[in-house]
Homo-oligomer: A and B are copies of this chain.
C-alpha cells in the first residue's frame, strides 16, 4: 500500500496495532465530539489564495523561541511510544532530529529522558511536565531535563484529573508489564498503577498560575503552557511571564465539548498581542491544515496521533515519512496560496470574516 497521505498511516496503525493500544491513542473524552471537531473545524475554513507570485524559491523554515526548525511542525507530547514501536521515544527523537524539528518528550515516556537525549544528540527537544502531588518528583524531572539539554519546559495545564475515555475504561487499559513509565520509576514504587500506569490521582489538581513562579524557580528553561483555550487564560499566561502557549484541548481527551483548537486560536493570538509565541496542536492532518493554523496566527503546530501512526508504521523511518509528507504538503500549499516564505503568511490568506 502506498503511503501517500497521513490517513494512510492512520489506516495502517488501526489495522496493525493491538486494539487496546489503538484505542488508547485514538481515544477522546466522552462522545469524542471535541476530538472530532478538531478535524472538522479545518474543513470549515476557506483559503483566499493569491496567484502569479514568484514561488520558485520556497523557504519554509521558522524559529521556535529563536531556534530554527526546518518547517513549522513539531512533535506534540504523547505517552507510551513503546505501544507503537519497540524503540519507543528513542525512535521519535531520532526522527525529529533527522527532520530538524522540535520534539516535546512526555513525562509519560516509556524511555528515560537520558535515553531520549542520547538517541539523537543535538536535537531540538522540549520536556512536557505533569505536576505530581509529590512535587519532588516533578522538580527532579525538570532539573534533569534541563541538565540533559532539553531547551523548553511545557507545562500541561488541562489535566488536573484525567478525562473520561470510555474505550480505555471498557478495555481496562493498562501498560503491558514490560513497559514502564521510565521517568517515574521509583516514584510510585509498588503501588496501584491502574490509571495509565500510575496510581490514581497522582497528579496535583491544585496547580494554579502561581506554580509558574515555582517552576521558574527551578529552571532557566523557557516555560510554555499547554492547554490554553480562552483569551482570559492567554492574558494570565502573559502576565505570569511564560514564553509560549500551546493552544490545545489535549486531542479532545479531556473536556468533551470544548472548542476545536483552530477555532480557539484567534482569540488567544489576539489576546497575547505578539508578546509571546502561540502554538497549536490538534487535528493537523494535511499540509494545508498547517497553513491555516499559521494564517490564523500560530507560530508552529505540533502533531500528536499522526506521529504515533508513523511510529506504528516503521518506527523512526515511518515518523520521518509522516513529517516529510506534511513538509511537502505544507510547502506545496504555501506555493499554491502564493506564499514563498513563512513571513508572507497571514490572515489575508483565509476568509476571516466567515470564521
- Chain A residues packing against B (C-beta within 8 Å): 2, 4-5, 30-31, 33, 42-43, 45-56, 157-158, 160-161, 163-164, 166, 169-170, 204-209, 211, 225, 227-230, 232-233, 236, 254-259, 263, 286, 288, 292, 328-329, 332-333, 335-337, 348, 351
Contact = CB atoms under 8 A, between A and B. Distances in A.
13 contacts: A4-B169, A5-B166, A30-B329, A31-B286, A47-B257, A51-B227, A51-B228, A51-B233, A52-B225, A54-B206, A55-B205, A255-B333, A255-B336
Given A2-B169, A55-B205, 17 more contacts: A4-B169, A45-B257, A46-B259, A48-B229, A49-B255, A51-B227, A52-B208, A52-B233, A56-B160, A56-B205, A160-B335, A160-B336, A163-B336, A164-B332, A257-B288, A257-B292, A259-B351
A170 B4 contact: yes
A39 to B, nearest CB: 10
Contacts of A52: 157, 207-209, 211, 225, 233, 236
Contacts of A47: 255, 257-259
A157 B207 CA distance: 47
Contacts of A333: 255, 257
User: Main SS of chain A's interface residues?
Assistant: loop
Contacts of A351: 259
B50 A230 contact: yes
Nearest to A255: B336
Contact of A5 (B4, B30, B45): B30
A49 B336 contact: no
A347 to B, nearest CB: 13
Given A5-B166, A332-B163, A336-B158, A54 B257 contact: no
